[in-house]
């Protein structure tokens, strides 16, 4: 059974949206190379206060494939630098 993940990532801790987007794009490219990756969609939106947020939806063949991406060294470096340690993250199948 495939698993979908939805992340809501506000732009915080970056000098610019372009710098933030560079990290997002790098993580999407990394995900595409991972075993079990199925798809990824990005949406740029505004929150209730008018601040830019990115929504990232990814689909994986298995929970283990998705977990491998979450624990990949490159992903962990980017997430370690992200100031929100608990971004809004929803998995669309039972975890």
The whole-angstrom separation of Cα 33 and Cα 75 is 13
pLDDT of residue 89: 63
* Model pLDDT for residues 54-92, shown as the tens digit of each residue: 999 999 999 899 999 989 999 888 887 777 655 566 666
Among 91, 15, 7, residue whose Cα is nearest residue 45: 7
Among 55, 54, 56, residue whose Cα is nearest residue 28: 56
Q: Which helix (H) or strand (E) holds 74?
A: helix 73-81
Among 62, 38, 52, 59, residue whose Cα is nearest residue 8: 52
* Model pLDDT for residues 25-50, shown as the tens digit of each residue: 999 999 999 999 999 999 999 988 88
Beta strands at 3-10 and 52-60: parallel, antiparallel or unpaired: antiparallel
pLDDT of residue 87: 58
| pTM for this model (two decimals) | 0.82
The neighbouring-strand residues paired with 56 are 7, 42
């Amino acid at each position: 059974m495939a698993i979908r993940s939805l992340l809501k990532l506000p732009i915080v801790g970056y000098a610019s949206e372009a710098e933030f987007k560079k990290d997002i794009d790098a993580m999407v490219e990394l995900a595409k190379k991972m075993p079990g990756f199925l798809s990824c969609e990005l949406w740029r939106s505004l929150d209730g206060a008018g601040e830019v947020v990115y929504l990232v939806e990814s689909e994986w063949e298995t929970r283990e494939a998705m977990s491998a991406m979450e624990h990949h060294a490159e992903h962990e470096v980017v997430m370690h630098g992200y100031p929100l340690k608990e971004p809004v993250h929803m998995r669309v199948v039972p975890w």
